[in-house]
Amino acid sequence: MSLSSRTSSRMKWGLASLLLLAALGVWYGLRPPQAESEPKVAERAKSAAAKPALSVNLIAPEREQWPRLLAANGNIVAWQESVISAEISNYRLTEVLVNVGDTVRKGQLLARISSDTVAAEAAQSRASVAEAEASLADAQANAERARQLVASGFYSTQLANQYLTGEQTALARLNAARARLQADEVRLAQTRVHAPDAGVISARAATLGSLAQPGVELFRLIRGGRLEWRAELPEADLARVKPGMAAALTAPNGAKVAGRVRGIGPTVDPQTRNGLVYVDLPAVDAAVRAGMFARGSSISARHPR
């Protein structure tokens, strides 16, 4: 067989094979699908039912107040500090009973001043009062007798007036003596220095044996032991702070101290453009002391969103 005859035969067989494959593909595609078994159908239905359907809930938008922290720095100072001094002059301190850091109650005795001279003057004034009372009693008796005798005609009006004037003079002398006694008793009481309020002694200048002088500081008292934080805030943030808001600061040792805003300063520093916020701190807290500077602190404010 020639080469051309073999090539023609191969092409015929290849073409016949392609036609056969095409016919099989058409037949397979047109064949009706076979029914699935019942277990497979049930399993597919169960898996489809187990898948939850997606649900959507609708809510209405609302405005809420979100907290906002305002950074602030400032000094910790005494809420109020009382300067205690003597009210009597040129008498020596004979006893000092308290020291720095002591907690005292209102009216507690802090120091004694020499009272010997003042006590002697008070005793002399009491004697003068007793003498004036006796003189007044005698003058009153004479005046009463003069009134009776004048009415009976035994005393002249001029003589009766002398006794009546003596009564008034004795009464005036008694009142003057009582006033001197009261002044001496006040001076005697001033030889005892008392605490004007409860609190903590923050400074002591009183020295045993020194001369007391009015207006010269003996002690300094933090009233009630109360401290406050004077936080500096930029002028733009002052309007966001209200009295009664919670505040927090970090002490120099890292401790957290809670407080509450008492008030906002009415002025702003024209140089720094900062204003002061006064924050009350706990009366007894070992983490804070007067004179400390609190850094990195904050005040809780709120703004709508």
The pLDDT tens digits for 84-113 are 999 998 899 999 999 998 999 999 999 999
What amino acid occupies position 180? R
Contacts of residue 88, defined as CB under 8 A and 6 or more positions apart, other chains included, come to 113, 118, 187, 190, 191, 212, 214
Distance CA 249, CA 261 (A): 12
Please provide the CATH number assigned to the domain covering 69-79+226-304: 2.40.30.170
Cβ atoms of 86 and 219 closer than 8 Å: no
Q: Report the alpha-carbon distance of residue 264 to residue 42 in Å, rounded.
A: 76
Q: Where are the alpha helices (DSSP H) in 153-203?
A: 157-189
Q: What is the pTM of this model?
A: 0.66
Give the model's pLDDT for residue 43.
64
**What dotted CATH number matches 115-190?**
1.10.287
> Among candidates 77, 83, 82, 81, which has minimal Cα distance to 278?
77
Pick from 176, 179, 184: nearest CA to 88? 184
The whole-number pLDDT of residue 39 equals 58
Judge whether 82 and 224 are in contact, CB under 8 Å. no
Q: In the structure encoding, which two tokens stand for residue 29, read together?
A: 């595609």
Torsion of CA 274, 280, 284, 285, to 10 degrees: -40
> For residues 253 and 292, what is the distance between their CA atoms, to the nearest angstrom?
11
- pLDDT, position 219: 97
Q: Which residues pair with 194 in a beta bridge?
A: 109
DSSP strand E in the chain: where? 65-78, 81-85, 91-96, 103-104, 109-113, 192-194, 199-204, 211-212, 217-223, 227-234, 246-250, 256-268, 274-280, 293-304
DSSP state of 279: E
Distance CA 239, CA 148 (A): 83
Domain 81-114+191-223 has what CATH class?
A: mainly beta
| Angle at CA of residue 97, ends 92 and 101, nearest 5° | 125
Q: Which two tokens stand for residue 77?
A: 């100072």
- In the prediction, which pLDDT does 3 show? 46
Helices 116-152 and 157-189: crossing angle, nearest 10°? 160
Q: What does the alpha-carbon distance between residue 120 and residue 111 come to, in Å, rounded to a whole number?
A: 20
pLDDT at residue 249 in the model = 85
Give me the pLDDT at residue 6, please: 56
pLDDT < 70 regions, the chain = 1-18, 21-54, 65-67, 154-155, 284-285, 296-297, 299-305
Per-residue pLDDT at 254? 81
Which residue ranges make up each domain of the chain? 69-79+226-304, 81-114+191-223, 115-190
